[in-house]
A and B are shown apart, each in its own frame.
Chain A
Amino acid sequence: MEMECPYAVEMLGITKRFPGIVANDNITLQLKKGEIHALLGENGAGKSTLMSVLFGLYQAEEGTIKKDGKEVQINDPNDANALGIGMVHQHFKLVQCFTVLDNIILGVEETKHGMLKKDDARKKVLALSEKYGLKVDPDALIQDITVGMQQRTEILKMLYRDNDILIFDEPTAVLTPQEIEELMQIMKNLAKEGKSILFISHKLNEIMEVADRVTVLRRGKCIGTVNVCDTNENELSRMMVGRDVKLVADKTPAQPKDVVLDVENLTVASKNHNNNAVKHVSFNVRQGEIVCIAGIDGNGQTELVYGITGLEPAKEGKITICGKDVTNASIRERSAEMSHIPEDRHKHGLILEYPLDYNMVLQRYWQPEFTTKGGFLKKDAIRKYSDELIEKFDVRSSQGSDTMTRSMSGGNQQKAIVARELSKEHKLLVAVQPTRGLDVGAIEFIHRQIIDSRDAGDAVLLVSLELEEVMNLSDRILVMYEGEIVGELDPKKITTEELGLYMAGAKRDTQKGAE
């Protein structure tokens, strides 16, 4: 018996084809016991496909999978679970109206005479949560807890099933900086306790911080596996993208001109609680500048954007765009001057059941260019416009304009939205987390587009949870805390630490905190 196989899991020579593309081309990935192994690659490089093969969602056409040195067959997720392989998906698989505990035991509940026996389960969950520092409230409903706690619930789900190979599919995409910090610590603890971790990511700094080794994929091919201690971010990004990438966007100093967006004393009600989510906020954004709203998730940024874009009514205050009072204007009226890259691409940004070309004209379909006077769609024009945007913004998909949007990778869905919003006529761009879940190549591209849009004379309001993005792009930073703007900062003069203090509410400018 070869008990001492150093690898927990080996995927050897995996090839997986889809019509038109080879998603995985002879990829080998070996996960050592107790290591954190990062899987790095651009959107559509084949990371998710490879993990789906490991998790039993797809069958590879070629190649073998070995667990502890023994060849295994994984036909569905149940097989994977039986082998101790667990996965935290990018989009959580939790029952919203169940408690944390119920979600953890879901599917492996213990019963006595047909009745649930939760006491033992509760003890085990609390013990696990103690051991790995996974703070959760077992009795809270999923819909009431933060995204970070939902993720910890997912991790506990894997641990509760005694999984020892843990796959994290872009776990930090949805987290705040603080939560990311915590997650990194949790992952290190897990590895220390002997769990083997596969960490799918395209965030280089996180990989550098937490991983032991990293395997890089590019366009379905394995570029190589390197030790993290022997490499650096620049080398990794070159391996991933295939060329040098500027990690910091070049930009000239802003030259602000006329005020485009003027927000006065804006108050927006909250959907979650009786308090107002946005409280008496005033600021403006000028032509040719990027103003960034920084803050920890849930401090009213979402509602502020809803108020400005018209998705939610303003309770008080006044919004002016290009000198026109739009406080009570419809979304369509506002969209004449405003482009909006929404926070949630699946909820607002796209109609996933529509083909890509229909989504490309979602904010323009009514215009004479795409609709005849009689109300008929000009499908040829729509197709042509969509093809142009796909080309210009390098949106990758299996069938171009015909692709069902649902089947595209998250990064390319986001690129499609960015393409649509930047290509439509606008004077104000409201971009909420425009690079969420994107790889460095795409981030570089989108940052470039936003800066170009500024230089072309647009006013840009950027909402971001990523400190790096805030520091990188903005000409002015407004920090939001508990629904108020607590500071206006100059990114050139402030450090990340100081910004963090404002975001956490530990510091505030007195003159800015209206009331």
Chain B
Amino acid sequence: MKNKKSFMENPAVQGILSALICIVIGVLIGYIVLLVINPAEAGTGIMAIMKNFFNYPIGKIGMKYFGSTLVKTAPLIMCALSICFCYKVGLFNIGAAGQYVVGAGVSLYTALAWGLPWYLCIILAGLGGALSGLLIGVLKAFLNVNEVISGIMLNWISLYCVNMLLTGVKEPSSPYTLPLTGHGNAGLIPSLGLSTLFNNDKVTIAIPLSILFAILVWVILDKTKFGYELKATGYNKNAAKYAGMKEKKNIIIALAIGGALAAIGASFLYLSGIENWEVGRSSVPGMGFNGIAATFLGALNPIGSIFSSFFIQHITDGAVFLDKTAFPSQIPDLITAIIIYLCGFMGFIKMLLAGKKKNKAAPSAETKQEGGKQ
């Protein structure tokens, strides 16, 4: 018991454990919902979602669908990183969804209309997202406009601007943008052999790149002076000011970087050619919002975001395998939504785990008192 205690007190262990608890509860509730609708099929249904690409035989076909999940995991990782990064500075970047839209718009437009090579498209998309984040940051730092409010508003503004922009590169006969193959070949992200490995031509180096970004964000936050300042600003703005940090500058830079991350995420998806943008769409893509769940499920750790993003994308894709004849067509999305929703309870579960330990672990009474107990 003695040894276990210190093991359990490790924040990383607590994080992973609470993530697993969230997932289990989420799956359980999803299962109960299926049970209510169609008791006979519930068991196979929930298994189908959880299995995702394992529904196919292991081998070429399985790898292909595994690859598809990975293609969509890369942008989710980037969105999760965007939110995680800003959160460390005490900012809730719900504007990641809009910055993602900007990234999609800029990368597709520069690839299709200007025929730019993929790396320039990604860089320009990142710049676009950074500008969008910068705007939120400037409003926050100088006018004290809440970043959630301005973020949400900007999400819609970005959506309609991008719809307008991409109308110029859409297919004449459909509401979708032109396919990159044939109209902007240079814009396709290279795969460097990954496509043959996965038997899937959409699998590109975007996937390893997103993992590199996660490591980069972790290094910046944990190892650098810049990260020290950003986190200090997030934890205690007054103390940051006292220590001579430029807290306004930090807020703006954090949101700009967050914006760039989300936008690059979008370019990772759209420049793989797996999807085209629907210029008539009237809803902001869910990727940015799912990034919130992925961030928290990843215990606000950039490396954790890699795994949580994969899991969320895994069940999102897995929902396709639910038997359409046994369940209404809305159910797959509903089940994944429930599981993702439960991921948001991460902080709560973690608190429960930590709270349970608190009585034993808190080294002094002040801790508890200052925590605002009673």
Interfacial residues, chain A to chain B (CB-CB below 8 A): 18-21, 23, 44, 48-49, 51-52, 57-59, 77, 89-91, 93, 169, 309, 311, 330-332, 335, 340, 342, 346-354, 358, 362-363, 365-366, 371, 375-377, 379, 397-399, 403, 406-410
Contacts of A340 in B (CB 8 A): 242
B236 close to A352 (CB less than 8 A): yes
Name the B residues within 8 Å of A330 (CB-CB). 244
Report Cα–Cα, A353/B369, bound state, in Å.
16
| Listed stretches B25-33, B55-63, B295-303, B355-363; interface member | B355-363
B232→A351 contact, CB < 8 A: yes
Q: Once the chains bind, are B362 and A377 in contact (CB under 8 Å)?
A: no
The contact sample of 11 A-B pairs, CB cut-off 8 A, is A19-B360, A23-B365, A48-B364, A58-B368, A311-B241, A331-B243, A348-B238, A371-B225, A377-B227, A408-B363, A408-B366
List A contacts of B363 (CB < 8 A).
Answer: 18-21, 397-399, 403, 407-408
Please pick, from A331, A376, A407, the residue contacting B364 in the complex, using a CB distance under 8 A.
Answer: A407
Q: In the bound complex, do residue B224 and residue A375 qualify as a contact, i.e. CB atoms below 8 Å apart?
A: yes
Q: Are B367 and A406 in contact (CB under 8 A)?
A: yes
**B362 touching A407, Cβ below 8 Å:** yes
Within 8 Å CB of A376, what residues of B? 223-225
B contact residues around A20 at 8 Å (CB) = 363
The 9 closest A-B pairs by CB, nearest first: A332-B244, A48-B365, A398-B363, A331-B244, A348-B242, A52-B365, A353-B235, A371-B225, A407-B367
Tell me the bound Cα distance from A403 to B224 in angstroms: 20
- Is the C-beta of B228 less than 8 angstroms from some C-beta in chain A? yes
B372 lies within 8 A of chain A by Cβ: yes
| CB–CB A366/B225 < 8 A | yes
A351 B239 Cβ-Cβ under 8 A: yes
Contact A347–B238 (Cβ < 8 Å): yes
With contacts A49-B365, A77-B374 taken as known, whether A375 is within 8 angstroms of B225 at the C-beta atoms is yes
B364 to chain A: closest CB distance in Å?
5
Q: How far is the CB of A397 from chain B (nearest CB, A)?
A: 7
CA distance A59 to B368 in the complex (A): 13
| Set of chain A residues within 8 Å of B231, measured between Cβ atoms | 354
- Residues of chain A with a CB closer than 8 A to B236's CB: 347, 350-353
The smallest beta-carbon distance between B228 and chain A, in angstroms, is: 6
Q: Would B374 and A409 count as touching, CB distance under 8 A?
A: no
Give the one of B235, B240, B242, B367 with max A CB within 10 A. B242
At the interface, yes or no: B4 with Cβ under 8 Å from chain A? Answer: no
How many chain B residues touch A (CB < 8 A): the figure is 35
A48 close to B224 (CB less than 8 A): no
Assembled-state Cα–Cα distance A349/B236 (Å): 10
Instruction: Give chain A residues whose Cβ lies under 8 Å from the Cβ of B225.
Output: 365-366, 371, 375-377
* Of the residues A51, A349, A351, contact of B365 by C-beta under 8 Å: A51
Q: Mark B230-265, 1 if CB is under 8 A from A, else 0.
A: 011001101111111000000000000000000000
Q: Shortest Cβ distance from B214 into chain A, in angstroms?
A: 18
Question: B137 → chain A, closest Cβ, in Å?
Answer: 20
The listed residue (B232, B244, B365) touching A335 by CB distance below 8 A is: B244
Q: How far is the CA of A207 from the CA of B83 in the complex (A)?
A: 53
Contacting pair B369 A347 (CB below 8 A): no
| Cα distance, A357 to B121, chains bound together (Å) | 43
Q: Are B228 and A377 within 8 A (Cβ)?
A: yes
Determine if B235 and A90 form an interchain contact, defined as CB atoms under 8 angstroms apart. no
Report the minimal beta-carbon distance from A279 to chain B, rounded to whole angstroms. 25
Q: Is B6 an interface residue (CB 8 A)?
A: yes
Residues of A within 8 A of B372 (CB): 93
Name the distance in Å between A343's Cβ and chain B's nearest Cβ. 11
Residues of B within 8 A of A49 (CB): 364-365
Q: B359 to A362, Cβ gap below 8 A?
A: no
**A354 cross-chain contacts in B, Cβ below 8 A:** 231-232, 235
Check A311 against B242 for contact (C-beta < 8 Å).
Answer: yes
Query: Could you tell me the distance in whole angstroms from the C-beta of A421 to the nearest C-beta in chain B?
Result: 11
User: In the bound complex, do residue B362 and residue A18 qualify as a contact, i.e. CB atoms below 8 Å apart?
Assistant: yes
Q: Are A58 and B365 in contact (CB under 8 A)?
A: yes
Contact of B226 with A by CB under 8 A: yes
Name which residue of chain A comes closest to B368, CB basis. A57
Q: Are B359 and A59 in contact (CB under 8 A)?
A: yes
Q: Is the CB of B368 within 8 A of A406?
A: no
Give bound CA distance, A231 to B296, whole Å.
58
Of chain A, the residue at the smallest CB distance from B222 is: A377
Q: With both chains docked as a complex, state the minimum distance between the C-beta of B244 and any C-beta of chain A, in angstroms.
A: 3
Task: Let me know if A362 and B369 touch, CB within 8 A.
Answer: no
Please give me the residue from chain A that is nearest to B227 by CB atom: A377
Task: Assess whether A409 is in contact with B364, with CB atoms less than 8 Å apart.
Answer: yes
Partner of A406, one of B5, B223, B227, B370: B370
CA distance A353 to B223 in the complex (A): 17
State the Cβ distance, A355 to closest chain B Cβ, in Å: 12
B235/A352 in contact, CB under 8 A:
yes
Contacting residues, chain B, for A309 (C-beta < 8 A): 242
Which residues of A lie under 8 Å from residue B370 when comparing CB positions? 91, 346, 406
B365: which A residues are within 8 A, CB to CB? 23, 48-49, 51-52, 57-58
Q: Which residues of B contact A377 (CB under 8 A)?
A: 223-225, 227-228
Once bound together, how far apart are the Cα atoms of A263 and B6, in whole Å? 53
- Interface pair A48/B239, CB less than 8 Å apart: no
CB-CB < 8 A to A331: which residues of B? Answer: 241-244
Interface centre among B235, B359, B367, B368 (most CB of A within 10 A): B367
User: Within the assembled complex, what's the spacing in Å between the Cα atoms of A77 and B373?
Assistant: 10
By a CB distance below 8 angstroms, the chain A residues around B369 are: 48, 52, 57, 89-91, 169
Closest beta carbon of chain A to B274's beta carbon, Å: 37
Please give the distance in Å from B354's CB to the nearest CB on chain A.
12
In the complex, the answer to whether B239 meets A410 with C-beta atoms within 8 Å is no
Question: Shortest CB–CB separation between residue A478 and chain B, in angstroms?
Answer: 24
* CB-based contact A362/B368 at 8 Å: no
- Cβ of A351 and Cβ of B244 under 8 Å apart? no
**Would you call A349 and B367 a contact (CB within 8 A)?**
no
If A52-B368, A397-B363 touch, whether A93 touches B374 (CB-CB below 8 Å) is yes
Known contacts A340-B242, A376-B225, A377-B225; A351/B366 CB under 8 A = no
Chain B residues closer than 8 Å to A59, beta-carbon distance: 359
In the complex the two chains form, is A362's CB within 8 Å of B243's CB?
yes
Bound-state CA distance A397–B224 (Å) is: 26
Q: In the complex, what residues of A have CB within 8 A of residue B232's CB?
A: 351, 354, 362
Q: Are A349 and B361 within 8 A (Cβ)?
A: no
B residues 150-181 near A (Cβ < 8 Å) are none
Q: What is the bound-complex CA distance between A39 and B129, given in angstroms?
A: 59
Q: Nearest chain-B residue to A53 (Cβ)?
A: B365
A356–chain B nearest beta-carbon distance, Å = 12
Give Cα A311 to B228, complex, Å. Answer: 20
Q: Is the CB of B362 within 8 A of A349?
A: no
For residue A59, give the distance in angstroms from its CB to the closest CB of chain B.
Answer: 7
Q: How far is the CB of A503 from chain B (nearest CB, A)?
A: 27
Q: What A residues does B240 contact at CB under 8 A?
A: 351
Report the minimum CB–CB distance from A67 to chain B (whole Å): 20
In the assembly, what is the distance between CA of A227 and CA of B5, in Å? Answer: 43
Residue of B whose beta carbon sits closest to that of A371: B225
A365: chain B residues within 8 A (beta carbon): 225, 228, 243
A476 to B363, CA, bound (A): 41
A19-B361, A48-B365 given; name 18 further pairs at CB < 8 Å: A18-B360, A18-B363, A48-B364, A57-B368, A58-B359, A58-B362, A90-B369, A93-B374, A311-B241, A332-B244, A351-B235, A353-B236, A362-B232, A362-B243, A365-B243, A407-B363, A408-B366, A410-B366
